[in-house]
Chains A and B, each alone.
Chain A
Amino acid sequence: MSANEPMHISEAELRGMTADLDAMHHDLALPALHDSLAEWAADIHQRSTGDQAEETAAQALFGRRRFLTRAGVVAGGAAGAAMLAACSSSSSSSSSSAAASASASGGTATAAAAMGGEGQSLSGDLRVVGMAASLENSGVATYQAGIAAATAGKLGTVPPAVVNFAETAMAQHEDHQKAWNAVLTSAGKKPVTAVDPVIQPTITTAFTKVTNVTGLAKLALMVENIAGETYQNGLSVITSPAGIKTAASIQPVEFQHAAILYFILGQYPVPSAFTAVTNARSATDYQT
């Protein structure tokens, strides 16, 4: 077969292979993760009972800010794209960019989403969890914005495999976000639905310059590497064994996303023998 001949694989065959792997994931990986999350939540709850009074005061202080933040943030659907677009519209007037084109659907409150976290006081492992949830929100928002731009024809021709990559990676980031927020809610905290306040401005600025698949892949690669490195760094910070299990189960997946993105960009997919933490977000970056 030459490189120009059509592939002998059918969509159905590939989907069948993917379905088999997906079934394994649901039969084996997810139940194990649920056990870890429940164990971690119980551990955190046990440790944090002494901090309740302080927490209540902090929640009252930041209540208004949380309302403003949550009002314009990801509630599912296309809100992430709108959020990213709205943020971008405030930093760039480029009408040719995908972000600017999508900004019409963005709400004014979305700017608040990029300003900070949820306003609740988090400490210890929960601070890592809060920061991780906000980072995942930024990941979801990035892919949502990219898919919206592609659908609107703003990125030129987008191969179906690239669309499928973006949709699957976004769904996995949503799963990660839900996992982190499940820990928060199990510990009696509010879920973090805001985007990452520190990295979001960088993403927003970069997205204004995205005009094609290559640009979007480069941006997504940056987000994936930051996420992977952040969880890798978190593994040295998190104290609960169940929490370590959770972070350890997510870190490799972010780096797998990165490997496929390198491939899409024509770069070697496993560029280093060791993943670094130089771009990792610190848990202390989480803004209360």
Chain B
Amino acid sequence: MDFDETALGGLIEESKDTHADALRGAKAPLQDMVELGREARAGRGVDADESRAFASENRRRLLSTAKRAGGLLGVTGVIAAIAEFIGSPAFAASATDVQVLQTASSIEVLAVSTYKTALGLPYIGGSSANPVIKTFATTTMQQHTDHLAAFQAATTSLGGTKQTKPDPAFVPVVDKAVASITKASPSSGALLVVGLALELENIAAETYVNNMSLLSNANAKKVTASIMGVEAQHVAVLNAVQALLKAGAAADITLPPPAAKLPAAAGSVGFPNAFYPTSQAAPATQGAMS
């Protein structure tokens, strides 16, 4: 076979130019993807609309680049594949939904372990415990276990890896609180336990409320929506229990409550907001896996 080295050199040069063009075309969206990832790791979360807009815009840009390159080179095939991927529903779901679900799982892991620790205290899970508080802690731990399983199942159904570790940002806070609780007397310890549980339940509820507008996948939305109201119910109960404990009225934590004995304001202490806030919501990707 005869070679025209000059012509071949020209073709190689042309292919290099095409390759460079292709890489230049890919550079901007890839930088944007990296930036999205950095934002997620920085705890600022990922905006679902921004993610979708990014996918739509850059899919067109990448496909245009691949077309200009003539589809002759492997790199253009790769670009086209990336373009198809980020433009697909799977990207919208996996880029944000999986991370959001992993964060939710990490909160549930922490909640389960916290209630488990609390139930090890004699005045929460032992013989000296108030029966209502003991039942609540036991039942709530089981409900969080169920929530964890649901979030993990939703994660794997989207092709993600299920999160089994607690939210790293909250672990030091909980550890510090638990250390204080173990040194406290039963009466003040019970109040600290309820305060910690209330904090975690509010974070869970507010995070899930906040996550609803970030999720794209229908199943992820349904799972989250079916759980956030339950966390809010935990909050309502804990608000009421906390008020009674602070008032030195632990004996009035009964089921049914001694309604006739309670002051009027006790009727509404459980649900102070007409609209559930999100100021304490965890960043959507805080508990996501790298």
B265 within 8 A of A: yes
Contacts of A25 in B (CB 8 A): 272-275, 277
Complex Cα distance A176/B275, Å? 8
Q: Mark A147-162, 1 if CB is under 8 A from B, else 0.
A: 0000000000101111
Taking a contact as CB atoms under 8 Å apart, the answer to whether A28 and B275 are in contact is no
Pick from A9, A32, A268: contact of B248, CB under 8 Å: A9
User: Separation in Å of the B219 CB from the closest CB of chain A?
Assistant: 10
B residues 238-290 in Cβ contact with A at 8 Å: 240, 243-244, 246-252, 254-279
Complex Cα distance A112/B278, Å? 39
Q: Mark B213-235, 1 if CB is under 8 A from A, else 0.
A: 10000100110011111111111
Taking a contact as CB atoms under 8 Å apart, the answer to whether B264 and A175 are in contact is no
Closest CB pairs A-B (n = 4): A9-B247, A252-B232, A266-B256, A21-B272
B156 within 8 A of A: no
Complex Cα distance A5/B252, Å? 9
New contact pairs (19) apart from A10-B263, A251-B225, CB-CB < 8 Å: A7-B249, A8-B247, A9-B266, A29-B275, A160-B267, A161-B266, A164-B264, A165-B268, A241-B48, A241-B49, A249-B278, A251-B228, A253-B273, A256-B233, A258-B233, A270-B139, A273-B227, A274-B150, A275-B227
Pick from A163, A242, A259: contact of B270, CB under 8 Å: A259
Complex Cα distance A172/B232, Å? 15
Complex Cα distance A257/B271, Å? 7
B142 within 8 A of A: yes
Taking a contact as CB atoms under 8 Å apart, the answer to whether A9 and B243 are in contact is yes
Residue of B nearest to A26 (CB): B273
Among A164, A253, A256: residue with most chain B CB under 10 A: A256
Taking a contact as CB atoms under 8 Å apart, the answer to whether A11 and B226 are in contact is no
9-residue interface stretch from A60-68, A117-125, A200-208, A228-236: A228-236
Taking a contact as CB atoms under 8 Å apart, the answer to whether B247 and A22 are in contact is no
A53 within 8 A of B: no
B35 within 8 A of A: no
Contacts of A258 in B (CB 8 A): 233
Taking a contact as CB atoms under 8 Å apart, the answer to whether A263 and B256 are in contact is yes
Contacts of A96 in B (CB 8 A): none
B119 within 8 A of A: no
A49 within 8 A of B: no
Taking a contact as CB atoms under 8 Å apart, the answer to whether A21 and B213 are in contact is no
Complex Cα distance A11/B57, Å? 59
Taking a contact as CB atoms under 8 Å apart, the answer to whether B232 and A255 are in contact is yes
Contact of A175 with B261 at beta-carbon distance under 8 Å, contacts A3-B254, A260-B270 already known: no
Q: How many A-B residue pairs have CB under 8 A?
A: 235
Taking a contact as CB atoms under 8 Å apart, the answer to whether A270 and B143 are in contact is yes
Contacts of B49 in A (CB 8 A): 241
Task: Report the count of interface residues on A (CB-CB < 8 A).
Answer: 77
Taking a contact as CB atoms under 8 Å apart, the answer to whether A269 and B236 are in contact is yes
Complex Cα distance A94/B259, Å? 29
Contacts of A159 in B (CB 8 A): 259-260, 262
Pick from B139, B249, B257, B273: contact of A263, CB under 8 Å: B257
Taking a contact as CB atoms under 8 Å apart, the answer to whether B250 and A1 are in contact is yes
B153 within 8 A of A: no
Taking a contact as CB atoms under 8 Å apart, the answer to whether A18 and B225 are in contact is no
Contact of A248 with B209 at beta-carbon distance under 8 Å, contacts A3-B251, A160-B263 already known: yes
Taking a contact as CB atoms under 8 Å apart, the answer to whether B235 and A256 are in contact is yes
B237 within 8 A of A: yes
Complex Cα distance A202/B236, Å? 28
Taking a contact as CB atoms under 8 Å apart, the answer to whether A270 and B247 are in contact is no
Complex Cα distance A1/B246, Å? 14
Q: Mark A208-251, 1 if CB is under 8 A from B, else 0.
A: 00000000000000000000100010011000011011011111
Contacts of A273 in B (CB 8 A): 142-143, 146-147, 227, 230
Jot down 27 A-B pairs with beta carbons below 8 A, ordered by A.
A8-B247, A9-B247, A18-B272, A25-B274, A159-B262, A160-B263, A160-B264, A161-B267, A176-B274, A232-B225, A236-B218, A249-B209, A250-B276, A251-B225, A252-B276, A253-B232, A253-B273, A255-B233, A256-B233, A256-B271, A260-B271, A263-B255, A263-B256, A267-B255, A272-B230, A273-B142, A275-B227
Among A33, A163, A168: residue with most chain B CB under 10 A: A168
Complex Cα distance A268/B143, Å? 13
Contacts of A164 in B (CB 8 A): 264-268
Contacts of A247 in B (CB 8 A): 212
A54 within 8 A of B: no
B161 within 8 A of A: no
Among A166, A251, A274: residue with most chain B CB under 10 A: A274
Complex Cα distance A250/B246, Å? 28
Contacts of B150 in A (CB 8 A): 274
Contact of A248 with B146 at beta-carbon distance under 8 Å, contacts A160-B264, A259-B237 already known: no
Complex Cα distance A254/B244, Å? 23
Complex Cα distance A288/B225, Å? 28
